[in-house]
Amino acid sequence: MIAKRRSPHFVLVGPSGKQAGRKDQHKIALQIEALQRQQTGLGGGICDLLIPRLPREIKTINRLTGRGYSTKKVVCRKNYREGLRGKLIDSCLIPELAARFVHELGSRRLDNRSVAREFSDWVCKNLNDPYPNEVKRIIGAVDDELLNMGKPAWWKNQVNQRVIK
């Protein structure tokens, strides 16, 4: 697998310092950055194309900057997560964990709709256990970074994506 280059990009940051949850936050962050560069004399070229022209866009930018919103340059973690997903798919980790889950489940039956949820909860319970266990050993053999994925939603998504593909 060829490592992709991670390039930094601008995001809109709220007054609390967290990334804004707007759908158009990337566009607004670029517009705010272009305005700031123009005001400091570093604008021109492509920056001039990013400056908002419509009164509605200008009003939105002024309202957000007045509330304390700013921009921040961050590196996307998407490639990092894709690498973990790739390792998860390439290895036989999910089938191996599923076999272990079924073995521990015994004769107890689950509804088909709740299997992914129960499985992901079981994996996370074992990952969050402070003591070493078989599940941690199996996951750690694939990649140590997977041991930090202790949220049930992440594991449920991986199971669902694997079933769909």
Are 135 and 146 contained in the same domain?
Answer: yes
Q: Tell me, yes or no, whether 107 and 33 share the same domain.
A: no
Query: Are 147 and 87 in the same domain?
Result: yes
At residue 162 the predicted structure's pLDDT band, cuts being 50, 70 and 90, is low
Task: Return d(Cα 15, Cα 53) in angstroms, integer.
Answer: 25
Asked whether residue 3 is assigned to any structural domain, the reply reads: no
pTM of the model as a whole: 0.49
Residues 158 and 82 reside in one and the same domain: yes
Query: Does 115 map to a domain?
Result: yes
Single residue among 31, 54, 75 that ends a domain in this structure = 75
Same domain for 97 and 71 = no
Indicate whether 89 and 30 sit together in one domain: no
3-state secondary structure of 25: helix
- Co-location of 35 and 65 in the same domain: yes
The pLDDT of residue 64: 93
Say if 2 falls within a structural domain. Answer: no
- Higher pLDDT: 82 or 56? It is 56
Establish if 1 belongs to a structural domain: no
- What is the tally of structural domains in the chain? 2
Question: Is 151 found in the same domain as 108?
Answer: yes
Based on the domain organization, do 69 and 107 belong to the same domain?
Answer: no
Tokens of 23: 């759908």
Cα separation, 111 vs 122, whole angstroms: 15
Q: What domain range is 59 assigned to?
A: 8-75
pLDDT classification of 121: cutoffs 50, 70, 90:
confident
Place of tokens 């003591």: 131
pLDDT, tens digit, for every residue of 60-114? 999 999 999 999 888 765 555 667 777 777 677 888 888 888 888 776 776 666 7
In this predicted model, what pLDDT tens digit does every residue of 130-153 receive, in sequence order? 888 888 888 888 888 788 877 888
pLDDT value of position 55: 94
> How does DSSP classify residue 106?
T
Helices (H) and strands (E) in the chain — how many of each?
Answer: 8, 2
DSSP state letters, 34-63: HHHHHHTT---THHHHHS--SHHHHHHHHH
pLDDT of 4 over the 60 cut: no
CA dihedral 32, 33, 35, 41 (to 10 degrees): 160
Query: Does 91 share its domain with 137?
Result: yes
> Per the domain annotation, does 93 fall within a domain?
yes
